[in-house]
Amino acid sequence: MSLWKIALRSIQHRFFASLLTVISMALGVTLVVAVLSIHGIMQESFTTNASLGYNMIVGAKGGKLQLTLNTVYYLSAPVENIPYDYYLEFLPASRRDAELDTAIRARAHGVRQSMASIETVSALGGGLLPASLLAGAVNEQALERAGAKQLDRGRDGKFLQYTEFAIPVCLGDYLGNFRVVGTVPEMFERLRFGEDSDREYEFATGRNFQAYSDEFGYFEAVVGSTVAREMNLKVGDEIAPAHGSVDGHKHAQMFTVVGILKPSGTPNDRAAFINMEGFYLMEDHAEPIAVDKEAAQRAAEESSDSSDPARDAKSADGEDVASPVAVSRTEARRVPLPVEQRKVTSLLVLSKPRGALGLQYIINKANVAQALFPVQEIYGLFALIVSPLQRALLFLTAMICVVSGTNILVSIYNSMSERRHEIAVMRALGAGRSTVMTVILLESVMLAVGGGLIGWTLGHSLNMLASPIIEAQTGITIGFFDLAPGVKLADLFAMEDSTNPLLQWRISPEVVVLPALVLLAIVAGFLPAMSAYRTDVSRSLGS
């Protein structure tokens, strides 16, 4: 008869007490598995979020962390903006000129439109022009007069040589509790995500928004999976962003949802993306320009220009432009906001392999903007907040293990008084002290491992049940046999020797659970085992 069988029989004999101990251990291990899973999900989510598809954020000078939180996670209070010109400096000459040409055309168009409005209002007998309209009109015209020279056309942006791409992001509006991001279609065409930054954004339904579409003009939107689910949005729905805050006033301008992203596990699941051109065309989003009354007067005088854009607009759209209100709705679908009236919150930049530091230096040297490496900031944030939280979770895990181990100790130790007689009998039959000690330790190990296996099964079953929710929240899927993500041995044992290749191996903490349980069982069983070891055979036998 093996010692294992003797230990097993002993467990079976104290079935109820053993069952309670196993349940206690199982619950402990279930918690351990849950904590390790949470730890792993946080780690993986962090890794996914740190793999942004870009390596630099350019934004207004100020708090780096706030800029990172805003741009990467769509969190924290909104930050200041930078001029749109800055974005143009990342573009090649062709695209830059195109943007400037658009601006020039828009400006000319704006002037014509403004003049038409002035005419209309005058014709209707309005002696006084609305100040903003007048100011806008006047300044547009003044800018037009300044001509293309001022716009510095025909050259590459000065940061282009350092840059693979730059994607502008305009923040400030909300859709429910979610941030609205004004951006360009490249956001989902060029950005990649995932641990290796190689996964493309995909659409569960619909398509990416377009810079301009005949159907919806500039007012197309794409929403993240979480936003779609929580706000019950589908393709074709119209959304109206709230200005400035969750409780801000809703813009009158509606955007049509043309696509819903598949879950990516990135913060983009929790944001609504609207075409940047549409973003600029919402009220309050254009930068105000200084009022120049003389220019306004001149503009009014020049309002009899032969090429009347308002009429063009009428012929194109078949709508009456006599009313300024009617003009705005229709024209907004066609005419982008001039460059000078635009600002961006930040730029998502992927620098060329050797251009990052140079680009950062140049940008930071000037007073306009700052460039930062988001991964650096995220790792800083991780070290500041998430790591302590993870350490707390791991500490909790260790405490759970200690409690479970104590339960084993108490259970076996309590049984020792009644078992002393059995141990004495075994000793009388020739069992050595070390043999009876081994039997007790084996019993402890069997209780721990049995409880551990039940707990592991229970924990992974719970993980599997929670998998759809976790996937929806983080984009991470968990199967029954998926272990918590591996950590470096060096990290696991808090060793700093990063040169030892062995310490660079990654193993799942769950792999350590079983040996740890055995170790814990041996530690927990040691006290009762010592009690068995010291049993006075003669006294315990009685007769």
* Residues that bind another protein in the complex, under the rule CB under 8 A: 1-3, 5-6, 9-10, 12-13, 421-422, 425-433, 435, 537-538, 541-543
Q: Which is nearer to another protein, 314 or 420 (CB)?
A: 420
Q: Which is nearer to another protein, 3 or 286 (CB)?
A: 3
Q: Which is nearer to another protein, 109 or 427 (CB)?
A: 427
Give the C-alpha distances (Å, rounded to integers) separating 244 from 37, 77, 83, 227, 293: 37, 10, 19, 18, 31
Q: Which is nearer to another protein, 406 or 540 (CB)?
A: 540
Separation of alpha carbons 88 and 435, rounded Å: 81
Which 3-state string (H, E, C) describes 338-352? CHHHCEECEEEEEEC
Separation of alpha carbons 158 and 492, rounded Å: 46
Q: Which is nearer to another protein, 433 or 488 (CB)?
A: 433
Helix (H, G, I), strand (E, B) or coil at 535: coil
**Shortest distance in whole angstroms from residue 529 CB to another protein:** 17
**Shortest distance in whole angstroms from residue 406 CB to another protein:** 25
Q: Tell me the H-state helices in 51-155.
A: 64-68, 84-88, 93-123, 131-146
**Shortest distance in whole angstroms from residue 412 CB to another protein:** 14
**Shortest distance in whole angstroms from residue 21 CB to another protein:** 16
DSSP 8-state assignment for residue 201: P
Query: For residue 224, which of 276, 266, 272 has the smallest C-alpha distance?
Result: 272
Q: Which is nearer to another protein, 426 or 520 (CB)?
A: 426
205 phi, psi to nearest 5 deg: -140, 155
Residues 6+ positions from 511 with CB-CB distance below 8 Å: 483
**Shortest distance in whole angstroms from residue 419 CB to another protein:** 10
The two three-digit tokens of residue 255, written as one number: 């955007």
Q: Which is nearer to another protein, 406 or 435 (CB)?
A: 435
- Please, which residues bridge with residue 183 across strands? 169, 275
Q: Which is nearer to another protein, 212 or 533 (CB)?
A: 533
CA dihedral 365, 367, 369, 374 (to 10 degrees): 40
Q: Which is nearer to another protein, 155 or 421 (CB)?
A: 421
Q: Which is nearer to another protein, 139 or 438 (CB)?
A: 438
Q: Which is nearer to another protein, 282 or 424 (CB)?
A: 424
Q: Which is nearer to another protein, 270 or 419 (CB)?
A: 419
Separation of alpha carbons 334 and 340, rounded Å: 18
**Shortest distance in whole angstroms from residue 535 CB to another protein:** 11
**Shortest distance in whole angstroms from residue 429 CB to another protein:** 6
**Shortest distance in whole angstroms from residue 428 CB to another protein:** 6
Amino acid at 447: L
**Shortest distance in whole angstroms from residue 411 CB to another protein:** 16
Do 235 and 228 form a contact (C-beta atoms < 8 A)?
no
Query: For residue 202, which of 227, 224, 219 has the smallest C-alpha distance?
Result: 224
Torsion sign over Cα 251, 255, 260, 264: negative
- 19: enclosing H helix or E strand: helix 15-50
**Shortest distance in whole angstroms from residue 4 CB to another protein:** 11
Q: Rounded to an integer, what is the distance from CA 540 to the centroid of its chain?
A: 66
Helix (H, G, I), strand (E, B) or coil at 181: strand
**Shortest distance in whole angstroms from residue 23 CB to another protein:** 21
**Shortest distance in whole angstroms from residue 534 CB to another protein:** 12
DSSP class per residue in 343-402? EESEEEEEE-TTTHHHHHHHHHHSSSEEEE-HHHHHHHHIIIIIHHHHHHHHHHHHHHHH
